[in-house]
Amino acid sequence: MQIEGDTQGLAQFLDDGITYGDALDLLPRLPQSSIDLFFTSPPYADARAYSRIHPDHYVEWFLPFAQAMYKAARESGSLILNIKNRVAKQGPLKGQRHPYVYELVIAIQRLGWRWIETYIWAKTNAVPGRFGPRTKDSFEYVYHFARGVKPYFDLDAVRVPYKADLAEIARRKMDRLGRRNTEAGFGRDRTKTYLLGGADPGNVVTVPQTYNQYRGVAHTAAMPEGLAEFFIKVASPAGGIVIDPFAGGGTTIVVARRLGRKAAGFEIHEHFVEEARRRIAENSAMGIPGYLFKVG
């Protein structure tokens, strides 16, 4: 039987951590149904000098990557995509929000990826600027797509401390009348609320933006480690394989490895590859961090 994709290639990618090249050429080299999680932040439309993609053409630019990732994802695998709205700079929509993010989400869903959730990454420290008749941008989207009907998802890995104090939690556990009927029907059994070891964090994930605060991270759009940590913990199993096809300075790879996953990334610009390589080497000796995100 011929296995589609290149198993040796995958082993090499994981060994190298970061591979220099176009993800469009490298993704098809991943074996079919082999990847647990693609976690990535692609270049946003019209954004950086390093890869300027017009928002009108963003969907057609991105779809071949989404297709290649679909092939390589395991049945329980996911694609988690961090992306941000833009304001149209020209054309009939000039000055308005461009709909490219929403068009992209629908197009990815039509490819077969199952749209599971939209998360809001809330930034407590977004920088003010001149944004026209609107407030500053203080959130970005993180879209979760799954390959199959039962994606890996470990809510327990991202639970956060309960808001109630210890006395209240103890009282609730003893409450014999935990389930109270209301006019609307049966209430939830509140004696069970505190048995899970922590609260559900919700789909607003608050992580401060990083402004190149990591010593020497020379990438203009490096994502905060806490964002990668949250999604890698919740959507990939321990020991699973995490790939970032737009790896930049290597945040996904560094965090995933620290969390006990096997990880690799692709990057088309050589100076970012150098940066990721340096950071991977520097981080390989570091310990596991605590929670870097909090409930919004």
Ligand X SMILES: C[S@@+](CC[C@H](N)C(=O)[O-])C[C@H]1O[C@@H](n2cnc3c(N)ncnc32)[C@H](O)[C@@H]1O
Residue 272 near ligand X by CB under 6 A: yes
Phi, psi of 24 (to 5 degrees): -65, -30
Q: Which stretch binds ligand X (CB under 6 A): 19-27, 116-124, 256-264, 285-293?
A: 19-27
Nearest C-alpha neighbor of 70 from the set 13, 9, 26, 114: 114
Bridge partners of residue 141, in order along the sequence: 83, 120
Residue 269 near ligand X by CB under 6 A: yes
Residue 246 near ligand X by CB under 6 A: yes
SS3 293: coil
User: Of 46, 140, 229, 267, which lies in the binding site for ligand X, with binding defined by CB under 6 A?
Assistant: 267
Q: Are 179 and 188 in contact (CB under 8 A)?
A: yes
Bridge partners of residue 160, in order along the sequence: 199
Q: Which is nearer to ligand X, 43 or 77 (CB)?
A: 43
Residue 218 near ligand X by CB under 6 A: no
Q: Are strands 241-244 and 262-267 parallel, antiparallel or unpaired?
A: parallel
Residue 273 near ligand X by CB under 6 A: no
Per rule CB under 6 A, count of chain residues that contact ligand X? 22
Q: How far apart are CA 262 and CA 37, in angstroms?
A: 10
Q: How far apart are CA 150 and CA 233, in angstroms?
A: 17
Residue at shortest CB range from ligand X: 248
User: Of 251, 259, 277, 280, which lies in the binding site for ligand X, with binding defined by CB under 6 A?
Assistant: 251
Q: Which stretch binds ligand X (CB under 6 A): 2-10, 132-140, 159-167, 241-249?
A: 241-249
DSSP state of 28: G
Residue 221 near ligand X by CB under 6 A: yes
Nearest C-alpha neighbor of 279 from the set 237, 197, 217, 227: 217
The residue type at 19: T
Residue 152 near ligand X by CB under 6 A: no
The binding track of 74-103 with respect to ligand X, each residue x by CB under 6 A or -, is ------------------------------
User: Of 30, 105, 223, 241, which lies in the binding site for ligand X, with binding defined by CB under 6 A?
Assistant: 223
Q: Which residues bind ligand X (CB under 6 A)?
A: 22-24, 41-43, 50-51, 219, 221-223, 245-246, 248-249, 251, 266-269, 272
